[in-house]
Structure 1
Amino acid sequence: MSGTAFPAAAVVVAAGRGIRIGGDRPKQYRRVGGQAVLTRTLAALAVHDGITRIQPVIAPDAAAFYHACLDDLDPILRAKLAAPVKGGATRQLSVRAGLEALAAAGAPELVLVHDAARPYVDAGLIDRALAAGRDHGAAVPGIAVTDTIKLVEDLAPGIGRVRETPARENLRAVQTPQAFAFPLLLDAHHAAMRAGLDGFTDDGALAEWAGLSVVVFEGDIRNRKITQPTDLIEADRSFSGSDPAASGQPGASAMTTYVTRLGTGFDVHAFTDGDHVWLGGVKIPADRGVLAHSDGDVALHALTDALLGAIADGDIGTHFPPSDEQWRGASSDRFLAHAVELVRARGGKIDHLDITVLAEAPRIGAHREAIRARIAEIAGVPLTSVSIKATTTEKLGFVGRAEGLAAQAAATVRLPEICAEVNAEAETTERRA
């Protein structure tokens, strides 16, 4: 269901203080696996095609923390972010601030409200939220309760008398993202404001108070909220991949199993007037340039397609159409960085990148190590995971006639088994369509 056709936005509630977890900053700005929790949450939402705009809500004194998070976010994904707005003293006030900011910019049809401290949210859960919000107008994700729950009345600190034992088959632990028809949720918040109520801890409860019919759709047990110091330790282990079985991405655990995917890519550009070509992110002097909409880096274009192929997510033209003038003359390292981010957002790990350049000229031997280093830097992989080779076509074809140059690439990626299954289903759907 990725790529839902109707406009949907997300409000990310990041205005909390997170004082229970300790440390020198709120929990959403603590780093896990080298990136802030909030950075990972924003990336997981922004990479989803069904979300067109994201409205962050932050504490009034957290601007420096917030902007530091953006340094680690792919510029392509960052383009979906609206300027952050200041939250209030309660979660409810913060959500309302985010909704009103979206309304002022042009209200979406649907809005997801998501906690900044839930970085494990994945595409499948977002798909279900969008679908349930579209179909029902108010929907929250929930997971079945496996423990017996007691309703108690307090007698003394730490002591309570059992009043009731609800049937657990009817109980759900509610998560975010919660999905609503935008005007319905905004009206509900305004009604609560007029009534002088600001203590709702989730938007599902506020919607119920406002008289909306709220449905519960299938949540995700992996979509944990970071609350305690041990949650941070576990998240850091998961996202850093220090567990040999962990992918370093949302949903990873010691029980995660992986499949290896091989993607391939090919690109070609004709020569034209000029004095250089770009190959692998390196500017190489040449007696001619290439004819291209962007900078014409055939190596990075082929490699971008290889990574997109490994995760079954279209091709470079799908993500960066040549008809779009914003990509005219664009540096191709942006394309590769975007593909890398998409791989990692799906829980993938890049094992190896291999490129072969087909050209009579220019010769790349003297630039080989610089190209390897630049690709390793863009992709965030060790130098030993990057290979670059070159060959001629023995004077045959357009390459042999020195009319242009080409590159072919292969990318080896490990994906969590569940992501690979989802991609396989998407490929089957595409073939049937």
Structure 2
Amino acid sequence: MMTETDSSPKQYRDLVGKSVLQRTCEQFIANPRIDRVLCVIHADDRDLFQTATARLDSTKLLPPVTGGAERQESVRLGLEALADMNPDYVLIHDGVRPFVSQEVILRVLDHLDSDHPAILPAVKVSDTLKTRGATGHIEGTVDRSKIWAAQTPQGFAFETILNAHRTALATDQHHFTDDTALMEHNDVPVLIVEGDGANIKLTTPQDMELGRKQLRMEATHMLSDIRTGTGYDVHAFEEGDAVLLGGVEIPHSRKLKGHSDADVVLHAITDALFGALADGDIGSHFPPSDPKWKGAASDQFLVYAVDRLKARGGKLAHVDVTVVCERPKIGPHRDSMRERISQICSLPVDRVAVKATTSERLGFTGREEGIAALSTVTIRLPLPDDYWDAHD
């Protein structure tokens, strides 16, 4: 994973499991009003770009264009690459602003629809602004009533911005720091619309860390429906030479009897997951009367339950299981079982607990007639939009 000490350009660095650029592109690809997404990159960055965008499976993403020595030239080259498509509008965005919202994108597009040729999203400055003199002392206080901090995406009528860049090139004007400044120079009115304070530009290591914290907080907030489920299963012994527990074969004088492979541990975990999801039980999804599941490996049952969780946008947070038996001894195999369960569930092993106990020679497990397993799982799901309305 890349860190703030990585020397690669910021747009290619890791931001909680995805590159900054991937997160930025995803916001535009997800917008139904955006037809194409084009990235302008440095000539030396093609491998970095391919790695950073490898998981962006969308026909909207065009092959990248090589930029110039300065930002202004890079923008012009990007616009020229779109000239044959001749879109109505173009949005020009900083690749290191991954927190742009759909609301801001649509606000810019809506005002372009209203015949404004140039749109600047911005936020009103709330801090007191001072001017500093050569000696380091305050020289004065700036009237902030008309001061707005510019953001992106800046939106333009395509022909207007392309012609402005071509004119700047022809007249050898290369000093514009953003595209609305070029519009101002050409006496094209630029409308300021409300931006978003969360739409930060990741410039410094501190910005990157702030971005990571923001994403983690958003993920926690989104998955705030925390649920637990319990599962219980039991299988009797029959003649054999090993038992399968938690996906691990353990030598023993007998084996467990069942319609599938009789892995009592995986069955208990699977049932606990279905319980947390309020989604039936293992028998309703995999009926023992169905010959399809005769001798089936139980890991596929657990994978299926985990996939049901993922399909609802959830995450598995923790698995706890207790095995009840006199023999075989679980302790020597505990770590192998934890590792295997973590692999099946795609869960870090430090979130998997395996415990064992006896029943003090009481009951069927005490008589060594079989093995029982109890499991508790914790999951996180997104809260439905109407949750609080229904629970007020």
Q: Residue 197 of structure 1: CA displacement? A: 1.3
Change (3 A) 1:46 1:354: farther
The reply on whether 1:155 has 2:131 as its aligned counterpart is no
**CA 1:148–1:72: 2 relative to 1, 3 Å:** same
Is 1:373–2:303 an aligned residue pair?
A: yes
Question: Quick one: distance in 2 between partners of 1:353 and 1:200?
Answer: 59
CA apart distance, 1:148: 2.2
Write out per-residue CA displacement over residues 241-297 of structure 1, whole angstroms, 9 at most, x where no aligned residue.
Answer: 2xxxx124xxx9xxx687759xxxxxxxxxxxxxxxxxxxxxxxxxxxxxxxxxxxx
Which residue identity is paired with 2:206?
Answer: T
Deviations 1:334-387 (A, max 9, x none): xxxxxxxxxxxxxxxxx9695976999784573663365378578694497999
1:247 equivalent among 197, 209, 218: 218
| Matched ranges for 1:243-282 at <5 A | 246-248=217-219
Give how far 1:219 is off.
0.3
1:118 equivalenced with 2:86 (yes/no): no
Q: Distance in 2 between matches of 1:353 and 1:32?
A: 34
Which residue of 24, 35, 60 corresponds with 1:52?
35
List per-residue Cα deviations over 1:95-137 (Å, max 9, x = no partner).
Answer: 1111111113x11111110000001011111111111222212
Change (3 A) 1:353 1:22: farther
Q: Does 1:27 align with 2:10?
A: yes
Q: Could you say which residue in structure 2 is the equivalent of 1:141?
A: 121
* Contact preservation (8 Å) 2:120, 2:154: yes
Report the Cα distance in structure 1 between the residues aligned to 2:109 and 2:164, rounded to whole angstroms: 19
Q: Which amino acid aligns with 1:133?
A: L
SS in 2 for 1:43: helix
Instruction: In structure 2, give the amino acid aligned to 1:60.
Output: A
Q: Distance in 1 between matches of 2:126 and 2:279?
A: 47
Q: Kindly tell me: are residues 383 and 209 of structure 1, through their superposed partners in 2, closer, same or farther at Cα, counting changes over 3 Å?
A: same
Query: Is 1:414 equivalent to 2:382 in the alignment?
Result: yes
SS in 1 for 2:176: coil
Distance 1:234 1:161, change over 3 A: closer
Q: Does the 8 A contact of 2:90 with 2:155 survive in 1?
A: yes
Residue 88, structure 1, aligned to residue 78, structure 2: no
Gaps of 5+ in 2: 227-275, 320-343, 346-378
Q: 1:128 to 1:155 in 2, by over 3 A?
A: same
Contact 1:33 1:238 in 2 (8 A): no
How much is the aligned-residue C-alpha RMSD, in angstroms?
3.6
**1:97 and 2:77 matched:** yes
**Where in structure 1 are there 5+ consecutive unaligned residues?**
1-20, 262-350, 388-410, 425-433
Larger CA Rg, structure 1 vs 2:
2
User: Following TM superposition, by how much is the alpha carbon of 1:187 offset from its aligned partner in structure 2, in angstroms?
Assistant: 0.9
Task: Return closer, same or farther for 1:381/1:414 CA change in 2, 3 Å cut-off.
Answer: closer
Partner of 1:225: 201
Alignment partner of 2:39: what SS?
strand
How far off is 1:147 after superposition?
Answer: 1.5
**Which residue number corresponds to residue 68 of structure 1?**
51
Structure-2 residue corresponding to 1:276: none
The amino acid of 1:119's aligned partner reads P
Q: C-alpha displacement at 1:32, in angstroms?
A: 1.1
* Equivalent AA in structure 2 for residue 70 of structure 1: T
Letter in 1 for 2:10: K
Shift of 1:172: 0.4
1:196-229 CA distance string (max 9 Å, x none): 1122111111111111000100000000000111
Identity of aligned residues (%): 33
Partner of 1:175: 151
How does the TM-score come out when normalised to structure 2?
A: 0.60
SS at match of 1:216: strand
The one of 30, 39, 45 equivalent to 2:22 is: 39
Alignment match, 1:212: 188
Aligned residue type for 2:27: A
Shift of 1:235: 1.7
> In 2 relative to 1, CA 71–381 (structure 1 residues): closer, same or farther, beyond 3 Å?
farther
The 5 Å alignment of 1:165-204 reads 165-204=141-180
Q: How does 1:314-353 map to 2 (within 5 A)?
A: none
Residue type at the aligned position of 1:56: C
Letter of the structure 1 residue corresponding to residue 104 of structure 2: L
Is the partner of 2:382 in helix, strand or coil? strand
Q: Which residue of 1 aligns with 2:210?
A: 234
Instruction: Give the conservation status (yes or no) of the 8 Å contact 1:376–1:383.
Output: no
TM-score, normalised via structure 1 length: 0.54
Counterpart residue type for residue 107 of structure 1: N
For 1:195 and 1:22, the matched residues in 2 are separated by 41
Alpha-carbon shift at residue 70 of structure 1 (Å): 1.9
Q: 1:115 to 1:374 in 2, by over 3 A?
A: farther
1:24: how far off? 2.0
What is the alpha-carbon distance in structure 2 between the residues aligned to residue 117 and residue 179 of structure 1? 17
Equivalent residues of 1:37, 1:116 under 8 A apart: yes
Please give the alpha-carbon distance, in whole angstroms, between the structure 2 residues aligned to 1:413 and 1:381. Answer: 7
Equivalent AA in structure 2 for residue 220 of structure 1: D
Q: 1:45 to 1:362 in 2, by over 3 A?
A: farther
The one of 95, 101, 109 equivalent to 2:88 is 109
Which whole-Å CA distance do the structure 2 matches of 1:357 and 1:196 have between them?
70
The structure-2 alpha-carbon separation of the partners of 1:155 and 1:205, relative to structure 1 and needing over 3 Å to count, comes to: same
